Amino acid sequence: MKDIIKDIIKRTGMMRAKAAAAFTSCAIMAAMPQGLLAQSSQTPAPGDAVLTRVMWVVLAGWIGIGIYLFIIDRRVSRLEKRARND
């Protein structure tokens, strides 16, 4: 696994590796069944609505960070191309 990460960093640069890591962590959390994240019961707990809102806010934050890293990575890639061409 470490060899794969080192190869990704060499080929695409650190920013892309960080963006890929952020996206991967979001994808893993989204793919997990809800039963793994919280205790399942037949009746909802009194604070479930609050926890659901917090989950959505955190998810939106991670998505925002991922989009921000993606945009920065594109800008850096364009600057690197310009520097190579000059």
Residue 26 near residue 66 (C-beta atoms within 8 A): yes
Contact 72, 28 (CB under 8 A): no
Token pair 């960080």: residue: 18
Check residues 56 and 32 and name the one with the higher pLDDT.
56
Give the pLDDT confidence score for residue 48 in this predicted structure.
Answer: 79
* 8 Å CB contact between 62 and 18: no
- Does the structure show a pLDDT above 90 at 68? yes
Does the predicted model carry a pTM greater than 0.75? no
Q: What pLDDT sits at residue 81?
A: 92
Tell me the range of 10-14, 41-45, 57-61 where mean pLDDT is highest: 57-61
Give the DSSP H/E element, type plus range, for residue 39: none
When pLDDT is averaged across residues 41-70 and rounded to a whole number, the result is 87
pLDDT at 11 over 60: yes
What is the pLDDT averaged over residues 5-23?
66
Yes or no: say if 81 and 18 are a contact pair by the CB < 8 Å rule: no
